[in-house]
Structure 1
């Protein structure tokens, strides 16, 4: 299985191709999602010591329950499903943070979803491409090793 450095290098080598995304996908949010997916929301968050986990710094502990629940290279490495699970987990963390902020008296302005839809979908598309590249590289390297 490739190391975190190899996954990141392959994703960075493929980065220029992300500028070829078709309309209505917006390039900047797409690239932002691609980079966030490569460096922070990697399928390897299921390993407490992965490069993606350590990049979360002081917030790294937030991903420890996820790492315990998701065995490495199992459901976290299924295309789409693994990403959806990580996004749901992240949404739960954000919702809990918002709830705590609300309880402390902070007020937040809701987003106008009609203005956010295409950029948000573009961002998620970038996350998905980074995720699929990661999983494809794992499968490729594992398949080649089995041949030897």
Structure 2
């Protein structure tokens, strides 16, 4: 197995890919081949940045020194349990479930904090998600986040069927 890139190299790969993608999207929009609203562009960019710098697949190594954990500052300690739950390059490095585990982990932390705030200060106003949630705004969030994750996995040499092959072999009795 070839060596995997460092966190810094992963970040540089994602920044370079974003630059090319943004230039291509801008060109396509100017040629009227693609319609991108400012809100969609912002959602994609924020999710891509969060996936690159805050929610890297390498958070499964959160007991150690991981760039993504350091980017959280003192809150990086919140990722230590995640690192204990997932073995490095296991499910957390799968193409669909891995990124989803990190989103669910963040949702759990937010829910716990909101619950604590409600317990301590029941009348404190908390932000809410506007209803209904528009798919045209959620899709760029998911696309930006998942694309940043997939670029990391590609750089690590992780195939899209990672984790599935092992399960398939178990089912077939190999």
Q: Scaled by the length of structure 2, what TM-score is found?
A: 0.74
How many residues align? The count is: 140
Counterpart contact for 1:43–1:134, Cα < 8 Å: yes
1:5 matched to 2:8: yes
CA contact (8 A) 1:24 1:118 kept: no
Q: Which residue is equivalent to 2:149?
A: 131
List alignment gaps of at least 5 residues for structure 2.
29-33, 159-174
Q: What is the RMSD of the two structures over their aligned residues, measured on CA atoms?
A: 2.0
Q: Which runs of 5+ in 1 are unaligned?
A: 141-148
Tell me which of the two structures has the higher relative contact order, counting C-alpha pairs closer than 8 angstroms and 6 or more residues apart: 1
Of residues 101, 119, 140 in structure 1, which corresponds to 2:137? Answer: 119
Of Structure 1 and Structure 2, which has the larger fraction of its residues in helix? 1
Equivalent runs, 1:12-23 vs 2, <5 Å = 12-19=15-22, 20=25, 23=35
1:41 matched to 2:55: yes
Quote the Cα distance in structure 2 between the aligned partners of 1:120 and 1:68: 30
Alignment of 1:26-65 (within 5 A): 26-48=40-62, 49-65=65-81
Question: Is the CA contact 1:8–1:39 (under 8 Å) kept in the aligned structure 2?
Answer: yes
- The Cα shift of 1:61 comes to 1.0
Q: In the alignment, is the contact (CA less than 8 A) between 1:18 and 1:31 conserved in 2?
A: no
Structure-2 change in CA distance of 1:131 and 1:61 (3 Å): same
